[in-house]
């Protein structure tokens, strides 16, 4: 398993049966995988949900927890939409609105 982990560096795929990310050790799917999946799916929620439903079916026999917990972990986050990216907000300047 360790050799496999080295070969797949930066893929952010699940180590099994622990279902932790092979790169960052977080519970899988990790934040990096989620972001990449949204990008790869052109931000189409149905595609992301279908993909994650397949992963959930694979994980179910290997993970403890109720169906609700597994659903929240693997699919529930898809319903909330893409994870927000950090925004850089320019400072607002008052007093120079057009026509003022």
Residues that bind Zn ion (CB under 5 A): 12, 21, 23-24, 30, 32
Q: Which is nearer to Zn ion, 1 or 89 (CB)?
A: 1
Least spacing, CB of residue 99 vs Zn ion, in Å: 50
Q: Which is nearer to Zn ion, 15 or 32 (CB)?
A: 32
Q: What is the Cα–Cα distance from 96 to 100, expressed in whole angstroms? A: 6
Least spacing, CB of residue 8 vs Zn ion, in Å: 11
Least spacing, CB of residue 18 vs Zn ion, in Å: 13
DSSP codes of every residue in the chain: -HHHHHHTTTS-PEETTTTEETTT-PBSSPHHHHHHHHHHTTT-HHHHHHHHHHHHHHHTTTS-S-HHHHHIIIIIHHHT-SPPPP--PPPP--S--TT-
Q: Which is nearer to Zn ion, 10 or 97 (CB)?
A: 10
């Amino acid at each position: 398993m360790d050799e496999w982990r080295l070969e797949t560096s930066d893929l952010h795929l699940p180590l099994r049966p622990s279902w932790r990310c092979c790169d960052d050790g977080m519970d899988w799917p990790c934040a990096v995988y989620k972001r990449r999946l949204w990008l790869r799916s052109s931000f189409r929620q149905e595609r992301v949900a279908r993909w994650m439903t397949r992963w959930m079916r694979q994980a179910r026999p290997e993970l403890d927890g109720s169906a609700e917990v597994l659903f929240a972990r693997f699919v529930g986050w898809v319903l909330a939409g893409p994870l927000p990216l950090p925004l850089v907000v320019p400072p607002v300047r008052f007093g120079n609105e057009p026509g003022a």
